[in-house]
Chains A and B, each alone.
Chain A
Amino acid sequence: MVCIIGPSGSGKSTILKLINGLIKADVGEVTVLGSTLDYNDGAVMRRKIGFVLQKPALFPHYTVAQNISVVPNLLGWSQEKIDVRVRELLEMMRLDPNDYSSRYPSQLSGGQSQRVGIARALAANPELCLYDEPFSALDPITRSELQDEVIRLKTELGKTSVFVTHDIREAFKLGDEIMIINGGKIEQQGSKEEILSNPKTDFVKRFIEQHD
């Protein structure tokens, strides 16, 4: 898991949108999952990439189960396979399927919504999962709980993930590799230890101190 961190407007979200093809690179090409992005077929490609948004942005007219099955449905899974998968994901996210499947998003707390948001992103077993500041709107306790979930999922599922945050503690807690960016440029990239022991630029130094 790579954590991208930087101040507002430094280009964190832009990187995610470059990866899933929502923004087209002005120069150069983007290679994702071993192949160059084909912008004509962006929607089909995005179904292979999980995406957890800043606010969960669940569809208010769908139940929890329907929200989770969006991508499997787009991929044309059978209903039985989808039902099994929804149960599995809800259990994985520690939400009782019998209770939560048929709830609507308006009946969920912020933390529960984001759990469903993560389940929705992971539904079709994507090879790559992108997180766009998913916990920034949550209270500290819920945030910490969900961070633990992400660590657990990371070890259980072993998926490649890119996690954007503006919270350095979150980045250090979750990231195997951390990328500090500022003004669209990479200031430093490396493990937590490397960055702490050897901050490469003044910006990185100040950034670490600020958050201590």
Chain B
Amino acid sequence: MIRVLILGFIVVSSLCSAQSVVVGSKNFSESRLLAEIIAQTIEASTNLEVERRLGLGGTLIAFEALKSGEIDIYPEYTGTINEAILDGDAPNYLEELSKLGIRCGRPFGFNNTYVLVTRENSGLHKISDLRGHNDLVLGFSNEFIKRGDGFNNLNRFYQLNLSEPKGIEHGLAYKALAEVEIDVTDAYSTDGKLSEFGFKYLEDDLGFFPEYLALPLINAELMESQPEIPESLSKIQISEEEMIALNYEVEVEKRSLTEVASEFLLSKGLAASAMQKEKTHPIIEQTLAHLRLTFLGTLLAILIAVPLGVYIQQFPRVSGLVVSGTGIIQTVPGLALLGFMIPLFGIGFLPAVIALFLYALLPIIRNTNSGLSQTDPLLIEAARCLGMTDWQILVKVRLPLAAPIIMAGIRTALVINIGTATLAAFIGAGGLGESIITGISLNDNSIILQGAIPAALLAILADLGMGQIEKKLRVNS
């Protein structure tokens, strides 16, 4: 047990002390692709080691990771910086960011904003053309209908007087539009899938949509100590058409990020030779990382929860509080719990293990507690009559008799954790979730299954194995 702990700390400390540039991305394919382009550019123009932490689970996780120095660079959009990160009322976002120790690199040159699209033959050209057109069926993504820079304000700004649009899942909207189920939908201007359909973009003739210029956010210290990094990144220039084509390669043609990024850089003369390295870790490595996370998290929980369960069992009122307290942790959604960890522990292995540790507490404490309180009072009396002390009664009678129930709690915790650990990839801790979230963002089921099947197998194996141990403990009681 101690050896596993030590191993864990070695892994943690080596992650923390790595002398390399860490490039992060959010969990969608354009962000991943830009991060891969950034990473390869740095590799081509400096001697620095580049570590990739792609697919962080959302804007706030990625930004927190950058702020806390867990990652050094990630691609972001000016509109997102204003709206989501700085709450929309910062007069000068560059100044606000530099207060946080973050600098903006030169924008890559394309604007990934919302556009409204329609069929080629619709006779519409610009957004103003929609005014009063209540015969059109509007199908918008739910996010677009709700957002501040979405439908309602657009309707008001252009005085379109359009009635309430239909909410439609973004992934289905293009098909619905092509099949004349709807007439107008919203899209991201650099969406690779758009090029498959040949839709017409409605011109934002009054300039309603804010700019979403893509640019690298860079750690200020790194920018000063390694000036060649911002310099090399400033050479990356991508037009909207180029970005659409690149996204198309990844999303529709299902080509690997490494390949697409390397081809692009070659064509621009920014890299000398093609890179063929695979970007996700092999399944074996992911599985090992997954097991490390799960076992360490559960082991820590056992070390804390069993003694705690024993201790609080003497005080029924306290044990009720502790059990419901750990129950509350259990209700926090996995991604949210991981999100809470970031300001405290950064991203990567350590916060993931801590989150898994917290999840494992409830079943173990609860079962230790109830296992002990189920001891037959007659046996306790017998033990006392034979001259056992309270401690001996606990160690020789109550704990062995509660062992199957405690083991059942550990089993539950382990199986829950094998499932939950797939979320750890969202905060860059690796594991089988790496395949799953890559697959989700590329909309590629085969990659999802590469992670999901081993994870399911692990859970089943752990359940069976622990079930055997539990059975063995139960045999004689």
Contacts and interface: CB of A to CB of B under 8 A. Distances in A.
B385 A53 contact: yes
A55 interface: yes
Most chain A beta-carbon neighbours within 10 Å: one of B376, B386, B388, B476: B386
Interface string A1-28: 0000000000000000000101000000
A22 B386 contact: no
A85 B476 CA distance: 24
A22 B386 CA distance: 11
Interface in B283-308: none
B454 interface: no
A20 B385 contact: yes
Contacts of B18: none
Interface in A60-111: 60-61, 70-71, 74, 104, 106
A57 B388 contact: no
Interface in A7-58: 20, 22, 43-49, 51, 53, 55, 57-58
Contact of B386 (A47, A55, A60, A104): A47
Contacts of B388: 43, 70, 74
A57 B393 CA distance: 14
B379 A57 contact: yes
Given A70-B386, A106-B476, A57 B378 contact: yes
A203 interface: no
A60 B474 CA distance: 10
Contacts of A61: 400-401, 476-477
Interface in A94-150: 104, 106, 120, 130
Contacts of B379: 57, 59-60
Contacts of A74: 386-388, 392
A161 to B, nearest CB: 15
B146 interface: no
Contacts of B383: 59
Contacts of A46: 384-387
Contacts of B275: none
Most chain B beta-carbon neighbours within 10 Å: one of A46, A47, A71, A106: A46
B381 interface: yes
B476 A53 contact: no
A60 B384 contact: no
Contacts of B378: 53, 55, 57
Contacts of A53: 378, 381-382, 385
Contacts of B392: 43, 74
A126 B401 CA distance: 28
Contacts of A55: 378
Contacts of B341: none
Contacts of B381: 22, 53, 57
A85 B380 CA distance: 25
Given A57-B379, A60-B477, A74-B392, A43 B397 contact: no
Nearest to B393: A43
Contacts of B314: none
A47 B397 contact: no
Interface string B246-263: 000000000000000000
B323 to A, nearest CB: 26
A51 B400 contact: no
B387 A60 contact: no
Contacts of B19: none
A120 B386 contact: yes
Interface string B349-386: 00000000000000000000000000010110111111
Contacts of A57: 376, 378-379, 381-382
Contact of B387 (A44, A58, A104): A44
Contacts of B382: 51, 53, 57-59
A62 to B, nearest CB: 8
B156 to A, nearest CB: 74
B172 to A, nearest CB: 59
B386 to A, nearest CB: 5
A48 B386 CA distance: 9
A51 B476 contact: no
A26 to B, nearest CB: 20
A56 to B, nearest CB: 8
Interface string B2-33: 00000000000000000000000000000000
Contacts of A22: 381, 384-385
B389 interface: yes
Contacts of B387: 43-49, 71, 74
Given A74-B392, A104-B476, A59 B384 contact: no
Most chain B beta-carbon neighbours within 10 Å: one of A49, A59, A71, A104: A59
B385 to A, nearest CB: 4
Contacts of B397: 59
Most chain B beta-carbon neighbours within 10 Å: one of A20, A70, A106: A70
A212 B334 CA distance: 73
A185 to B, nearest CB: 25
A15 to B, nearest CB: 14
Contacts of A130: 385
Nearest to B401: A61
Contacts of B477: 60-61
B378 to A, nearest CB: 5
Contacts of A120: 386
Contacts of A106: 476
Contacts of A58: 382
A59 B389 CA distance: 16
A137 B372 CA distance: 27
17 contacts: A20-B385, A43-B389, A46-B384, A48-B387, A57-B376, A57-B378, A58-B382, A59-B396, A60-B401, A60-B476, A60-B477, A61-B400, A61-B401, A71-B386, A74-B386, A106-B476, A130-B385
Interface of A: 20, 22, 43-49, 51, 53, 55, 57-61, 70-71, 74, 104, 106, 120, 130
**Pairs A-B, 6 closest by C-beta atoms:** A47-B387, A57-B382, A46-B387, A51-B385, A43-B389, A60-B477
